[in-house]
Chains A and B, each alone.
Chain A
Amino acid sequence: MTALPKFSFSGATLAFGQKPILRNISFDIPAGQFTCIIGASGCGKTTALRLAAGLYQPTQGAVLFDGEPMSAPRADVAIVFQDYGKALLPWRTAFGNVSLAMEAGGVPKAGRADRIEELLALVGLAGQGGKYPTEMSGGMQQRLQIARCLAQNPSVLLMDEPFGALDAMTRQGLQDEVLELVARTQTTVIFVTHDLEEAIYLGDRVIGLLPHPGRVGIDVPVNLPRPRDQLATREEPEFLRLRRELFDFIKGSEA
């Protein structure tokens, strides 16, 4: 690996007061990689993602982005929250919610409308710009949040259990759409999930955290051909082998 890693966690440790949350987290994420983070509940995977977003600062160690410390949120790093119902502005339409990211990024008003329509179409919400979040299904709301993140033109997309609250059918559809989107835009992704199969299906690599305090317990590459397929990929021997390995890891971490 010759190029500088996009993200570099080096010995990142975080404590809230006396309570240790994460201890000595170290890994590099090269540009363009799709990394999934898994772990039992309470292992701090969501906290690790917030460190990457610059929402929290490590108490020791560092989180580097393109070699620079991630001391505050950046425009080219976007985060998709799990609870889309809380992360969208209920008083703004779909259009207005995407617009928020552009207003914050200082995009002049003249160029916004076309770009917003383009982004809404990209996530499958063409013509839905006038709707309020409360008028949309969970899946549509999460697409909208993704559109808002894309409006930042991010080189990195951080996703915090984005499909956790959706039904199985919607989830599979969105998984494929995210893969397609990422392939087209060459975006680096860190994807937190508690669903092992989702992690294997989506990722180039899966990092498993151990709980209390959170630390890296396993780091495996996923050598499955792309594009992935909901039926064929999940039947590959490699998929099943990884599922077994990660399942055992989670079981062991809870013991």
Chain B
Amino acid sequence: MRYLLTSGLMGRGVSVLVAAGVVWIWLLISRSGAISPLFLPGPDKAWASLLRGFENGVLLRQTLGTLQHMFFGWLVASVVAVGLGSVIGISPLARRIFSPLLEFLRPLPASAVIPIAIAFMGLSNAMAIFVITFGTLWPILLSTVQGFSSVEPRLYEVAKALRMGRIETIRKIVLPSALPDILAGMRISVTAALILSVVCEMIAGLDGLGHYIMVSARLYRSPDLFAGVILLGAIGYVSSTLVSMAEARLLRWRDRGH
């Protein structure tokens, strides 16, 4: 046990050193001038730009813009998908009615609705929220349907033997049973939400990091561009980690014992 612990920490330490080495090589390359600083600014320059951006408030505003698009789109998608998914999951009739339409819409690249959304809503935040909602809906919807249809049949018998009503059965048996699937869908969707936020901001020029990095690239301000990319990576990491943590907390009954 102790051996495992120390070797785990050791491994982590080595891993951090390797990552630091990669940054160091990046620094060396940028200093050597082998690649034009226009394409590859040093990590020091990118870091300085990051700090400056937060000091003067520009990056904070752009970050909040991206977070808002992401969060609201994802939230609306989650509510709609869990609602619709529950109906489809419970009712075979609803499943028959909706499945062909959903089969067509599911593999559709979400970004393909951007032009249509722009045609209807213009270059607005509402357009971005709509696109993000549309794009993040499918993973949650499909996993909700999956979760509802894979409830252990024995549990339905338990509910029947305990004379539980339909609503009570859904609330106490079906929903908790489908929760792992629903949360897994929401975890996948949060990544998609970030990607679509960036794309919408780029195309529509909305406040957000997507717009910020695009403008930085056009003005050849590559340290700002790299600062934005680093920030987007951080948002991606933090958001999926947060959802995973919520998942672990809500599903803590799952990984106990054997």
**Which stretch, A72-80, A167-175, A210-218, touches the partner chain B?**
A72-80
Contact A55 B254 (CB under 8 A): no
Q: In the complex, what distance in Å separates the CA atom of A73 from the CA atom of B161?
A: 5
Output the least CB separation between A192 and chain B (Å).
Answer: 15
Q: In this complex, which of A101, A104, A132 has the most chain B Cβ atoms within 10 angstroms of its Cβ? A: A104
Residue A195 CB within 8 A of the other chain: no
Q: Which residues of the other chain, B, contact A89 by a CB distance below 8 angstroms? A: 155, 172-173, 176-177
The contact of A73 among B152, B162, B168, B173, by CB within 8 Å, is: B162
Contact of A78 among B157, B161, B173, B251 (CB under 8 A): B161
Q: Does B2 contact A (CB under 8 A)?
A: no
A53 interface residue (CB < 8 Å to B): yes
CB contact under 8 A between A81 and B176, given known A104-B164, A132-B253: no
Evaluate contact between A81 and B158: CB separation under 8 angstroms.
Answer: yes
Q: Are A134 and B258 in contact (CB under 8 A)?
A: yes
Contact digits for A49-72, partner B, Cβ 8 Å, 1 yes 0 no: 000010100000000000000001
**Interface size classification for chain A:** 20 to 34
Q: Which of A72, A81, A135 contacts B163 (CB 8 A)?
A: A72
What secondary structure prevails in chain A residues at the interface with B? loop
Q: A72-B163, A91-B176 are in contact. Are A104 and B168 (CB under 8 A)?
A: yes
- How many chain B residues touch A (CB < 8 A): the figure is 23
Q: How distant is A68 from chain B, measured CB to nearest CB, in Å? A: 15
The answer to whether A104 touches B253, judged by C-beta atoms less than 8 angstroms apart, is: no
Q: How far, in Å, is B1 (CB) from chain A's closest CB?
A: 20
Given A89-B155, A103-B172, CB of A134 within 8 Å of CB of B161: no
Taking the complex as formed, is A87 at the interface, i.e. its CB lies under 8 A from any CB of chain B?
yes
- Whether A134 contacts B256 in the complex (CB less than 8 A), given A75-B163, A103-B172, A105-B162, comes out as yes
Asked if A177 is at the interface (CB within 8 A of a chain B CB), the reply is no
B161 cross-chain contacts in A, Cβ below 8 A:
53, 55, 73, 78-79
Contact between chains at B157 and A81 (CB < 8 Å): yes
A75 to B160: give the CA distance in the assembly, Å: 11
- Residues of B within 8 Å of A90, CB to CB, are 253-254
Give the most central of B154, B155, B157, B253: most A CB within 10 Å: B253
Question: When chains A and B are docked, how far (Å) is the Cα of A135 from the Cα of B253?
Answer: 9
Q: Mark A73-108, 1 if CB is under 8 A from B, else 0.
A: 111001101010011011111000000110111000
A136 to B258, CA, bound (A): 9
Check: B257 CB closer than 8 A to any chain A CB: yes
With an 8 A cutoff between CB atoms, is B113 at the interface? no
Asked if B152 and A86 make an inter-chain contact with CB atoms under 8 angstroms apart, the answer reads yes
A8 an interface residue at 8 Å Cβ cutoff? no
Q: Mark A166-198, 1 if CB is under 8 A from B, else 0.
A: 000000000000000000000000000000000
Q: Is B155 within 8 A of A87, CB to CB?
A: yes
Q: Distance (Å) between the CB of A133 and the closest chain B CB?
A: 8
Report the minimum CB–CB distance from B254 to chain A (whole Å): 7
CB distance from A100 to the nearest CB of B (A): 7
Q: Does B179 contact A (CB under 8 A)?
A: yes
Docked pose: A105 CA to B172 CA in angstroms: 14
Chain B residues with CB under 8 Å of chain A are: 152, 154-155, 157-164, 168, 172-173, 176-177, 179, 251, 253-254, 256-258
- A79-B157, A81-B158 are known contacts; what are 19 more A-B pairs with Cβ within 8 Å? A73-B160, A78-B161, A81-B154, A87-B157, A89-B172, A89-B173, A89-B176, A91-B177, A91-B251, A92-B253, A100-B162, A100-B172, A103-B168, A103-B172, A105-B163, A132-B253, A134-B254, A134-B256, A152-B162
